[in-house]
Every structure is written in structure tokens, then in C-alpha cells.
């Protein structure tokens, strides 16, 4: 089998997360680290218990500093292109949990130029229009407006450009060529871009005029950016940012790859209850058997069942309930149609709530966008 592709621009094939840990040189989140986190958070988020956040860099160091009284800030981001889907929400939901548990400030980057530079057929105006829609989803997740700062690359260019140049001066074309697969035909905006994504990892340190540890929750495909950032920041006199990294929510079509808005196989945060029902019923890949008789006899396979995986990733936080569903499905006591109905209900009750908060978020956008004091 050919190896899966995982980089900031493409995720395809069957991703082997163990292999990725080795290939990227990540540290696995082990029981010892989980216990250490739990000391501070009292409980563990399901995404930690279930190894959905599975790898990190220097998280122990961030906790060392925290235990000595040096607080860290969180940094994550969203480059707008298509609509927001459930896969995007995963790291953000987890980031919100970290913000609550550690009382951390969050710097949320909106690189409105990124997808314009990297994707054909998108204008800068397109990505900017979508960006304001995306902000609604992020605000709807309940981030604390007093502790959360949105930074928009083109709007906050005055704040960011100097830092980006300092990073860029340390990066040669040959360094980014291999990490990002660039060649002679790549536009120079794309080549420069990683310098912009590095900036929020030290921007708060510039603004507050003292070094502050940074923890970046992100999906593992972003790691190539932050490998570079980590190499460079100490040379500029800043801390290396730490990270905590998650795997991908599967698309409806099956457990390989990641949910992506370029395909039909995504559930969007703005989908209606009817859309969700139709998509799950029609498209969600099933680990069940071909006929009811066979299913009762052989049982289903939750590992490849997308509806089950959605419960595991996002929609059934209760471990006991999840294990019960799993057991019944494996034994053939629960049919695919029954499992799908559970998932549809869960997603729709989440979305109903989310969409209500999303509507109210429009008038809060201004509170979140960073303003210099």
C-alpha cells in the first residue's frame, strides 16, 4: 500500500498515526502525561482519554513553567476557504476546554491570505468574506471574549509583518521546498506564508515585552509549519512554542483521510437537521453487514463505522455509553440503522444549540478582534 500523505495542503490515504509520530519526531501523549494534565484539570477531556489528541511537543515543559507560576497562552488558527464543517470544530472545542481549565489567553489567527495563495480559484475577497462566517462558528463555541484575541493577517499586518520578516530571514527556499513540496512554479506569497503562521507564537511576547510560553493545539497536518517555527524562535530570543496535536475526523465516505469541504462528504455547521439525516443515512460508511440476518449473526465493526466514529470523536462524551453502543454493535444486537439514528440525533442536537449561538455571535465579532491599547 502507498503511504498516506499528510501535509498542510493535503491529507489522503490511510493515516498511520504511530508512523506519523516517528516520521515527524513527535512525542506520544502517554499515561504519565495524561496524569500530569489531570492534576491541573481534575478531569480529562474525552479527546485526551480517547487518544484523539495523541501527540505533542514540549508539553511537559509548558507544565513545568506553569507549575512554577509562569502562565502560557494558547495559539491556534483557521484559514478560510470553504464552509466550516464538524472536523474543523475538533481542535477548537479542545482549545476552549484548555482555555477554561488553565485560564489561558488565546490568540486565534485568521490568515485570510493563506487559501488565496494556495488554492486556485479563490479571490482574497472570497476568503475574507468566508472568514467572518468562520468567526461566528468559533465564537459560538463559547470562548471567553476577554481572553481571546482574533488576529487577521491582512488587517493586523502592521503588528505582524516585522516579526514575519525576522522569521523569513532565517528560512531559505530549500528549507520550505521539502517540507511543503514547493517548486519553481510556486508563487512567492505561498513561499513566504509560513513566516506569517509563525508570528502569533511570539506576538504576545512582543506585545507584553516579556517571553511567554505558547501552546499550540492543532491538527497534525500543521506540524511542518511549527517545526520551522520551533527551529527559528530561539534564534530570535523567544521560547520554542509547544504543541498538542490531534488526528482527523473521518469524512462520511470512510475512516481514511479527513473530512474536507472540497468533497461532498462533509457535515457543515450550517446544515439543517434534514441535511444531516440525509447525509448520514445516505453516505456514512457503515461497518455493518449486508443483510440484517448476517448482521445479527456476524455483528458490525465499529472501527470502520463512520457513525460510530463520530460518536467517539465528538458526540458521545460518556465513555460508558459509548462502550455500550460499541458492544451491542459488535454483537449484532444493534443495527446500522439504529446506530445511525443515534448519531443523527446527537449531531442535530449539537447543531441546534450551535446554530442558535452562531446567530447571536454576529454582534460579538468586534469584541474578539484584537485592538491595540
- Identified binder of ligand TRP from the candidate list 47, 76, 313, 316, rule CB under 6 A: 76
Residue 250 to residue 313: CA distance in whole angstroms: 9
C-alpha 306 chain-centroid distance? 18
β-pairing, 242-246 with 214-219? Answer: parallel
CB-based burial label for 54 (10 Å; 0-12, 13-18, 19+): buried
- Identified binder of ligand TRP from the candidate list 47, 58, 77, 241, rule CB under 6 A: 77
Stretch that binds ligand TRP, among 70-78, 227-235, 303-311, 334-342 (CB under 6 A): 70-78
Question: Among residues 97 and 329, whose Cβ is nearest to ligand TRP?
Answer: 97
| Smallest separation (angstroms) from ligand TRP to the CB of 216 | 5
Which residues touch 330 (CB under 8 Å, ≥6 apart)?
Answer: 299, 300, 301, 302
Question: Among residues 75 and 94, whose Cβ is nearest to ligand TRP?
Answer: 75
Minimal CB distance residue for ligand TRP: 77
Question: Among residues 188 and 292, whose Cβ is nearest to ligand TRP?
Answer: 188
Nearest to 63 by CA among 23, 27, 92: 27
CB-based burial label for 270 (10 Å; 0-12, 13-18, 19+): middle
Count of residues that interact with ligand TRP, criterion CB under 6 A: 13
Stretch that binds ligand TRP, among 71-79, 270-278, 333-341, 359-367 (CB under 6 A): 71-79
Per-residue contact flags (x/-) with ligand TRP for residues 133 to 172, judged by CB under 6 A: ----------------------------------------
Q: Give the footprint of ligand TRP on residues 4-33 (CB under 6 A).
A: 8
- Is 254 a binding residue for ligand TRP by CB under 6 A? The answer is no
Question: Among residues 216 and 322, whose Cβ is nearest to ligand TRP?
Answer: 216
- Identified binder of ligand TRP from the candidate list 37, 168, 195, 216, rule CB under 6 A: 216
Question: Among residues 114 and 305, whose Cβ is nearest to ligand TRP?
Answer: 114
149: helix, strand or coil: strand
Q: What is the number of other CB atoms lying within 10 angstroms of the CB of residue 344?
A: 20
Residue 118 to residue 22: CA distance in whole angstroms: 27
Looking at residue 2, the DSSP 8-state letter turns out to be: P
Q: What is the number of other CB atoms lying within 10 angstroms of the CB of residue 101?
A: 14
Question: Among residues 88 and 166, whose Cβ is nearest to ligand TRP?
Answer: 88
| Smallest separation (angstroms) from ligand TRP to the CB of 345 | 30
- Is 85 a binding residue for ligand TRP by CB under 6 A? The answer is no
Nearest to 140 by CA among 180, 92, 186, 100: 92
Q: Give the footprint of ligand TRP on residues 195-214 (CB under 6 A).
A: 197
- Is 218 a binding residue for ligand TRP by CB under 6 A? The answer is yes
If you count them, how many residues does the chain have?
A: 373
- Identified binder of ligand TRP from the candidate list 95, 205, 222, 355, rule CB under 6 A: 222
Return the exposure string of 254-264: e unless at least 16 CB atoms fall within 10 Å of the residue's CB, then b. bbbbbbbeeee
Residue 58 to residues 44, 200, 264: CA-CA distances in angstroms? 19, 18, 37
Q: Give the footprint of ligand TRP on residues 90-129 (CB under 6 A).
A: 109, 111, 114
Residues in contact with ligand TRP by the rule CB under 6 A? 8, 75-79, 109, 111, 114, 197, 216, 218, 222
Amino acid at each position: 500500500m502507498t503511504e498516506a500523505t499528510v501535509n498542510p495542503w493535503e491529507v489522503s490515504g490511510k493515516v498511520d498515526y504511530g508512523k506519523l509520530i516517528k516520521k515527524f519526531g513527535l512525542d506520544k501523549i502517554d499515561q504519565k502525561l495524561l496524569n500530569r494534565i489531570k492534576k491541573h484539570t481534575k478531569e480529562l477531556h474525552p479527546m485526551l482519554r480517547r487518544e484523539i489528541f495523541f501527540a505533542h511537543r514540549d508539553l511537559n515543559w509548558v507544565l513545568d513553567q506553569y507549575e512554577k507560576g509562569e502562565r502560557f497562552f494558547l495559539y491556534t488558527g483557521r484559514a478560510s476557504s470553504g464552509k466550516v464543517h464538524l472536523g474543523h470544530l475538533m481542535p477548537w472545542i479542545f482549545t476552549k476546554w484548555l482555555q477554561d481549565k488553565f485560564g489561558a489567553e488565546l490568540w486565534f489567527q485568521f490568515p485570510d491570505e493563506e487559501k488565496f495563495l494556495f488554492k486556485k480559484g479563490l479571490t482574497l475577497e472570497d476568503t475574507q468574506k468566508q472568514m467572518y462566517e468562520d468567526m461566528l462558528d468559533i465564537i459560538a463555541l463559547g470562548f471567553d471574549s476577554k481572553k481571546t484575541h482574533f488576529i487577521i493577517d491582512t488587517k493586523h499586518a502592521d503588528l505582524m509583518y516585522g516579526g514575519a520578516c525576522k522569521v523569513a530571514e532565517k528560512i531559505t527556499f530549500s528549507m520550505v521546498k521539502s517540507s511543503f513540496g514547493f517548486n519553481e512554479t510556486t508563487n512567492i506569497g505561498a513561499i513566504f506564508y509560513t513566516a506569517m503562521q509563525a508570528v502569533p507564537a511570539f506576538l504576545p511576547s512582543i506585545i507584553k515585552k516579556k517571553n511567554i510560553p505558547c501552546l499550540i493545539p492543532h491538527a497534525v497536518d500543521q506540524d511542518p509549519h511549527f517545526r520551522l517555527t520551533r527551529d527559528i524562535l530561539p534564534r530570535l530570543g523567544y521560547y520554542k512554542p509547544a504543541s498538542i496535536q490531534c488526528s482527523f475526523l473521518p469524512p462520511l465516505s470512510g475512516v481514511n483521510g479527513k473530512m474536507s469541504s472540497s468533497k461532498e462528504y462533509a457535515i457543515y455547521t450550517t446544515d439543517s437537521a434534514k441535511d444531516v439525516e440525509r447525509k448520514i443515512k445516505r453516505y456514512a460508511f457503515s461497518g455493518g453487514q449486508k443483510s440484517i440476518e448476517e448482521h445479527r449473526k456476524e455483528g458490525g465493526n465499529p472501527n470502520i463505522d463512520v457513525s460510530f466514529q463520530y460518536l467517539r470523536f465528538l458526540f458521545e462524551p460518556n465513555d460508558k455509553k459509548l462502550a455500550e453502543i460499541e458492544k451491542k454493535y459488535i454483537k449484532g444486537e444493534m443495527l446500522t440503522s439504529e446506530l445511525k439514528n443515534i448519531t443523527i440525533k446527537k449531531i442535530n442536537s449539537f447543531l441546534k444549540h450551535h446554530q442558535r449561538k452562531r446567530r447571536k455571535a454576529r454582534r460579538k465579532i468586534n469584541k474578539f478582534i484584537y485592538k491595540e491599547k
